[in-house]
A and B are shown apart, each in its own frame.
Chain A
Amino acid sequence: MKTRDLVHVALFAALVAALGLLPPLALPVIPVPITAQTLGVMLAGSTLGARKAGLSLLLFHLLVAAGLPLLSGGHGGLAVYPGPTGGFFVGFIPAAFVIGWLTERAWHRLSVPLAFAINVLGGIGVIYAVGIPWLAASAGLPLPKAAWGSLLFLPGDCVKAAFAASTAVTLKRAWPLIQPRRAAEPPAPRP
């Protein structure tokens, strides 16, 4: 890993933390406020690629576990983990990795709809897949009920995935960072 990669890992961990310190973005169209932290997870994944994004979120968790109140709402410390929402935070790590991995694979034909699908799969699918069983186990809730309760956050998360997707595609043109896994192939024919 080059120094530049180390700095990227540190900067994105800081970015996720800084987004947690922000007041939620209020949008004129949708009533659900957007807390920006999972947006940071999606941006890390689709900007840095699997390995660096996963490391970045791991680093973020080290700082939270050590007692820094970096999760949105000023939560932090080990108290976060036994809590009912602990799994959603832990899910940040595999989510960033999965988004990064899929983005690397789709790099040459990355479009906004494709990036949106990737961010939904990683940023919603993976985070909920870790968070919902954790919530069920930690609160003694049956799994289906825990899942229904989590649906409340789905609209906001979809909006975040859309923002992350458009940002990723714009950034691919402005400042590409991800090295595609395969050799360059001819651009996909336009539909």
Chain B
Amino acid sequence: MSLGLYVHRASPVHATPAGAKMLGLLGAAIALLLFSSPPVLATALATTLGLYALARLGPRELAFVLPLSAWVLLPLFLLQGVLSGWDTATRAVLRLAVLVLLAMLVSLTTRASDQLDTLQRALRPLARFGVSPARLGLLLALTLRFIPLVATWVHEVREAQRARGLEHHPLAVLVPLLVKTLRTADALAEAIDARGFDAEEPP
């Protein structure tokens, strides 16, 4: 299973540091929320598509965004057109489309690990409130490891209950799944402690 949306290309957009891209996205989101006149939106859309060209990403990479547009933006456009006029509808949906495209550009051109590193660095000032970088790192690593594992357990428990004819009984699936999760947590915590990890480290 490959997690993450990153698509590798050699381009200046890919080379821009993750932090700069994420801050730029935040800035663009705020700016578009404040000013959304048609000329601004048109310029923003053109700039965004230009950035896609600069990053050498084509329609094929964008195919991932299409379901979102089809399922969310289209009904929204129709609903809003009927409720509050087609002019407002076009403006609102265009603004959303620009923002979603920009955010998707950040995800497509930045490795998840780089974004996580940036977020960890941004959260470093939280150390004085007891969020230590080492613990955050352990949490992120554990979670990434656990996602496929828990997905396997869900499958196993459902198979086991199917054999008993209980697969449509959600409680028969959820309770064993949670007990299995919690039991593993205990064993794992003991193993981590046995290797000398100090969870209570001072900030």
Q: How many residues of A contact B (CB 8 A)?
A: 65
Q: Assess whether B91 is in contact with A68, with CB atoms less than 8 Å apart.
A: no
Contact of A11 among B71, B135, B146, B148 (CB under 8 A): B146
Q: How far is the CB of A76 from chain B (nearest CB, A)?
A: 7
Contact of A167 among B3, B67, B178 (CB under 8 A): B178
Contact indicator per residue, chain B 143-172, by CB within 8 Å of chain A (1) or not (0): 111111111011000000000000010110
Contact of B192 among A1, A3, A59, A60 (CB under 8 A): A3
Q: Assess whether A7 is in contact with B142, with CB atoms less than 8 Å apart.
A: yes
Tell whether A141 pairs with B83 under 8 Å between CB atoms, given A3-B199, A59-B140, A167-B171.
yes
Segment with Cβ contacts to B, from A16-24, A94-102, A114-122, A125-133: A16-24
Tell whether A79 pairs with B68 under 8 Å between CB atoms, given A9-B139, A14-B143.
yes
Q: Assess whether B104 is in contact with A14, with CB atoms less than 8 Å apart.
A: no
Q: Is the interface of A mostly helix, strand, loop or mixed?
A: helix
Which residues from B are CB-within-8-Å of A84?
Answer: 72-73, 76, 96
Q: Assess whether B112 is in contact with A83, with CB atoms less than 8 Å apart.
A: no
Q: Assess whether B179 is in contact with A175, with CB atoms less than 8 Å apart.
A: yes
Contact of B107 among A3, A27, A76, A138 (CB under 8 A): A76
> Once bound together, how far apart are the Cα atoms of A145 and B81, in whole Å?
13
Q: Assess whether B151 is in contact with A21, with CB atoms less than 8 Å apart.
A: yes
Which residues from B are CB-within-8-Å of A65?
Answer: 115, 119
A82 at the interface (CB under 8 A from B): yes
> Once bound together, how far apart are the Cα atoms of A94 and B113, in whole Å?
26
Please list the residues of chain B having a beta carbon within 8 angstroms of any beta carbon in chain A.
3-6, 22, 25, 29, 33, 65, 67-68, 71-73, 76, 79-80, 83-84, 88, 91-93, 95-96, 99-101, 103-104, 106-107, 110-113, 115-116, 119, 135, 138-140, 142-151, 153-154, 168, 170-171, 174-175, 177-179, 181-186, 188-189, 192-193, 197, 199-200
